[in-house]
Structure 1
């Protein structure tokens, strides 16, 4: 269509070609391809000039309208980077949302009044980008996929209980002591239920038999805070409780040195929308300001 408009504007294939850095044969082939697709002749070819046919004159008006509309659409892109608006859709772990996003989310929304945020929570990563998801934030081993995963932090798992529970039942001295305590973990099958420790440089797993199981980490945290027993959760979840003394780490000398990476996942790395980019920058800044490592 552009070749057709250029040929009409310059009066010949050769003049249009010189003006736009193409060969005359290229312009001619493009116009011929357009004529074949439309099944009409758009130009009467002369030895030195081109003349529009009746069909060509009709097509010229429509082609100009199409190109004007395309130019207008392209011009709107100039405003995209500067305008942070729309709805940002996020999927993450409930505990990460509650303890590492919600505390600063009101300030973020106040800074971007035209942006809204939808947060869907789930313990495990599920690819929902085809359904409109913008980003996901999850920890652990991710399934192989074509998505882009960027490591934004890491977490370690801490075994802990309240001072009151430990005073009443005693503090475990070695990992095997856990078998004599009331312990709690997740209902669903997950590596999070593997209570692993390091003894004499070797990794061991204690086959903890939970008194109760829960689908959410916050329920585990609540039962521990009530003095119910011992739990094992990520430091990004309970770091604040430990720093405040509400929960006390146990078996720290046997804590596994294996850490779980925390990933930011999005569909592809090219042309991130402004709403995604500004959230990612804010998130990484907040993680830097609020270290949870204990």
Structure 2
């Protein structure tokens, strides 16, 4: 069995959503496509697709298989182009993920500039406020804010990000400006977390860490909603500096308790290397690192 051909067939079936349209695109007969998929499933010992009379969908194992399969085909194409002397520019797809607001504000402009420089590159973005698995979700590059667990990913630190407490001028005028973390206990806090409300806010005082729990009537899982709520005077918010930078500059929010902020969080650009990263991924990572390191809000 030609396993490279099998990878190609599985990818096309997944993209077309069926065996018949995949056969048409591949120039094969539908029975030949079916036999190829069945032979590959038998070889792997897994089911790649869920089949019904109406739809064909990838299983979880199938999702992982085509994510790796795409990388194999891309690396093979790049190796062949280099060996034949036809490698005149970067080709293929780069898939990047980042936190939602960060991705829209900072990664997207870099990605668009990268596309303009490399006309044979395609790019896929996934901007979500959750930790993604690069391998399982078929991603090449990620931006992460926070301390990293040990992993096989290659990480390049591009800066540090402050965690700030802020509120609107009107809220501070009516409730007072907090002078110490304990003052927050009498104020309304806007809880914001990627996965669950952060009931306690950590601060640093006299070299030691301390936690404070503001009262809260509002918990959100979107940075934009937390920022909007703070601007509307709904309470005090704990956010990352880049998320409130525009509102602070415009005077709609004020940062408080700056002297008690915890240590800033590291910001990394990560990528899947394997034996060696594709040239297009290395080029994209290089551009991301250079551009992010030039941002004023990163220390």
Place the TM-score, normalised by the shorter chain, in its bin: 0.5 to 0.7
Query: SS of 1:102's equivalent?
Result: helix
Residues 105 and 293 (structure 1 numbering): CA distance in 2 closer, same or farther, change over 3 Å?
same
Aligned residue pair count: 222
What residue is the counterpart of 2:173 in the other structure? 167
Provide the C-alpha distance between the structure 1 equivalents of 2:86 and 2:159, rounded to a whole number of angstroms. Answer: 30
What residue is the counterpart of 1:156 in the other structure? 162
Provide the C-alpha distance between the structure 1 equivalents of 2:175 and 2:109, rounded to a whole number of angstroms. Answer: 34
CA contact under 8 A between 1:156 and 1:259: conserved in structure 2? yes
TM-fit CA distance, 1:188: 5.4
What residue is the counterpart of 1:281 in the other structure? 286
In our comparison, the structure showing a higher alpha carbon Rg is 1
Deviation readout 1:3-30 (Å, 9 max, x if unpaired): xxxxxxxxxxxxxxxxxxxxxxxxxxxx
Residues 188 and 101 (structure 1 numbering): CA distance in 2 closer, same or farther, change over 3 Å?
closer
What residue is the counterpart of 2:268 in the other structure? 263
TM-fit CA distance, 1:159: 0.3
TM-fit CA distance, 1:150: 2.3
Residues 172 and 118 (structure 1 numbering): CA distance in 2 closer, same or farther, change over 3 Å?
same
Deviation readout 1:21-70 (Å, 9 max, x if unpaired): xxxxxxxxxxxxxxxxxxxxxxxxxxxxxxxxxxxxxxxxxxxxxxxxxx
Provide the C-alpha distance between the structure 1 equivalents of 2:257 and 2:86, rounded to a whole number of angstroms. Answer: 52
What residue is the counterpart of 1:43 in the other structure? none
What residue is the counterpart of 2:152 in the other structure? 146
Provide the C-alpha distance between the structure 1 equivalents of 2:185 and 2:293, rounded to a whole number of angstroms. Answer: 38
TM-fit CA distance, 1:271: 2.7
Provide the C-alpha distance between the structure 2 equivalents of 1:80 and 1:223, rounded to a whole number of angstroms. Answer: 55
Residues 104 and 121 (structure 1 numbering): CA distance in 2 closer, same or farther, change over 3 Å?
closer
Query: SS of 1:129's equivalent?
Result: coil
Residues 132 and 189 (structure 1 numbering): CA distance in 2 closer, same or farther, change over 3 Å?
closer
Choose 99-108 or 136-145, whichever is displaced more.
99-108
Query: SS of 2:148's equivalent?
Result: coil
TM-score between the two structures when normalised by the length of structure 2: 0.65
Unaligned runs of 5+ in 2: 1-76
Equivalent runs, 1:1-294 vs 2, <5 Å: 76-78=81-83, 82-186=88-192, 189=195, 194-256=200-262, 258-268=263-273, 270-293=275-298
CA contact under 8 A between 1:198 and 1:254: conserved in structure 2? yes
Provide the C-alpha distance between the structure 1 equivalents of 2:178 and 2:249, rounded to a whole number of angstroms. Answer: 20
Provide the C-alpha distance between the structure 1 equivalents of 2:95 and 2:134, rounded to a whole number of angstroms. Answer: 10
TM-score between the two structures when normalised by the length of structure 1: 0.66
Provide the C-alpha distance between the structure 2 equivalents of 1:172 and 1:216, rounded to a whole number of angstroms. Answer: 25
Provide the C-alpha distance between the structure 1 equivalents of 2:248 and 2:233, rounded to a whole number of angstroms. Answer: 14
Residues 110 and 191 (structure 1 numbering): CA distance in 2 closer, same or farther, change over 3 Å?
same
Indicate the RMSD between aligned Cα atoms, in angstroms: 2.7
Provide the C-alpha distance between the structure 2 equivalents of 1:73 and 1:172, rounded to a whole number of angstroms. Answer: 58
TM-fit CA distance, 1:122: 2.6
